[in-house]
Amino acid sequence: MHVRVVGCSHHNSSVELREQLAFSATQVIPALAQFRSQFPQAEVVLLSTCNRVELYTTVASPEQGPSAEAMRRFLAEFHGLDPVELGDMLFVHDAREAIRHLFKVAASMDSMVVGEPQILAQVKQAYQLSLDGESAGPAMHAVFQAANRVAKRVATETPIHRKRVSIPSVAVGDFARGFFERFERKQILVIGAGEMAEETLRYLIDEGVCDITIVNRNRERSDTLVQRTAGNSADWEQLFELLIRADLVVSTTGASEPIIRLEDFQRVAPGRFQRLLFILDLAVPRDFDPRIGDEPNVYLYSIDDLAQVCDENRRQRQHAWPAAEKIVDQEVDRLMTELHHRATGPAIRQLRAQAEHAKDEELLRLMNKLHDADERTRQEINQFADRLVNKLLHPPLESLRDESLNGTPQGLLDALKRLFQIRD
């Protein structure tokens, strides 16, 4: 089985590129279906978050599935982009490196904020959406189950996740806290009602905010979030009115384009009377036109602006890095061996079946001649036949297992099929 991932992340691409390639929740399953219609032999999972867009495929062999270039082209053309213009801006990992990359992503070792808690849930959700869309099968199940196991091991066996820091905590604790000395009298506007909004809101509540308004296109979701946390909800149509009154805005929607354009903000700005406005735009694609940050008395920060603080977070966890890397390498070895051995499974089962069939035929022929043999003698003959078959099969099967440690033993497997006349 061959695993490949093509994509981009905060490590190698700008927020502008990521927001162009981002998939909304409603786009994922149709995108997977479209991909499968083009490449029916491939299983596929699409992971799209604020910090990464990654397309994973598994196929029986590299020749059977989509090329890296075809995967790049799919990501570009789905969003109406020119694949040529993307050039080398998308990374490609194959086989062992693709699996290793997924394991580090799931364990939050590749995150902007190392140890942040959301990424594993996002990886699980991406796999579940693939299952819902009938785009994942046994091969992808093995890969993503292993990724979940790695994440749990890293979390429990290393201190990387202890005192873990998430993007919302960095946004509130390092950015907003550095801007406001006190939060008690500040009017907070939260746009969006998803997990990122809820976590950010909880950090703000811990900082002492009292005046909170949550607005979401689906009023029911904002009402529910208010019940779980604090504050009040408002209708989406009140957004501009609320923006006039706000001191701090946290925006986390899944909109595919800015919800506040420059001209929108310029219309409401006079009503603010030049009061300072602090905006944390944690959405990808961004909710606020980045040009709004150039307006007087506006401080606008996006995901990428958190990078410096997140780099410090990574440095503080460097002492735990070797242990986490060791776990990842162990689990990559384990899965690669399992996958390579799985590729030999059908041939091994057929070889054993052929041997068992030949043994049973010869035993039947022999027993028909030994009319006077007692039960003990018959048992000895059966045991002898079993031992003989196992000893004859042991060398070729052991060779297959040994070769599986280094990859799918295709040459040895083909030779075995020819020698024993095994048909696919």
Q: Tens digit of pLDDT for each residue in 220-254?
A: 999 999 999 999 999 999 999 999 999 999 999 99
Q: Edge-to-edge, what's the strand order for the sheet holding 248-251?
A: 232-234, 211-215, 187-191, 248-251, 277-281, 298-302
Does the pLDDT value for residue 129 go beyond 60?
yes
Do the Cβ atoms of 343 and 173 come closer than 8 Å? no
Q: Are residues 126 and 10 in the same domain?
A: yes
Span 324-339, average pLDDT? 90
- Look at the chain and report how many structural domains it folds into: 2
The whole-model pTM stands at 0.70
Regarding whether 138 and 26 lie in a shared domain, the answer is yes
pLDDT at 173 over 80: yes
Catalytic residue among 8, 50, 210, 310: 50
* Encoded tokens for 89: 């801006």
pLDDT band at 5 (very low <50, low <70, confident <90, very high): very high
Q: What is the pLDDT of residue 193?
A: 94
Which CATH number characterizes residue 261's domain?
3.40.50.720
337 assigned to some structural domain: no
Of 78-92, 122-136, 218-232, the range with the lowest mean pLDDT is 78-92
Cis peptide before 285 (omega within 30 of 0): yes
Question: According to the model, what pLDDT value does residue 163 have?
Answer: 58
Domain endpoint, select from 304, 319, 345: 304
21 within a domain of the structure (yes/no): yes
- Does 92 lie in the same domain as 38? yes
Kindly state whether residue 400 falls inside one of the protein's structural domains. no
What is residue 63's predicted lDDT score, i.e. its pLDDT? 77
Share of the chain above pLDDT 90, in %: 55
CATH number at residue 11: 3.30.460.30
With bands split at pLDDT 50, 70 and 90, how would you rate the model's confidence at 409?
Answer: low
pLDDT over threshold 60, residue 164:
no
Last residue of a domain, one of 304, 325, 352: 304
Residues 156 and 11 in one domain: yes
Q: What is the per-residue pLDDT for 424?
A: 63
Mean pLDDT of 365-379: 86
Residues 160 and 259 in one domain: no
194 and 247 belong to one structural domain:
yes
Rounded mean pLDDT, 125-151 = 95
- Is the same domain home to 96 and 237? no
Mean pLDDT of 107-134: 90
- Residue partners of 395: CB distance under 8 A and separation at least 6: none
Q: Which of 283, 247, 239, 286 is nearest to 265 (CA)?
A: 239
Asked whether residue 343 is assigned to any structural domain, the reply reads no
| Residues paired with 251 in a beta bridge | 191, 281
Same-domain status, 136 and 267: no
Tell me the average pLDDT across 137-145: 93
Does any domain span residue 103?
yes
Contact 280, 175 (CB under 8 A): yes
Active site residue 50: yes
Residue 257 belongs to a domain: yes
For 214, the domain range is 167-304
Give dist(CA 242, CA 189) in Å, integer: 7
pLDDT (mean) for 144-170: 86
Residue 310 lies in a domain: no
Mean pLDDT along residues 262-283: 95
| CA 167 – CA 180 distance, rounded (Å) | 18
* Final residue in a domain of this structure, among 133, 149, 164: 164
Task: Flag the least confident range among 47-56, 164-173, 241-250, 355-364.
Answer: 164-173
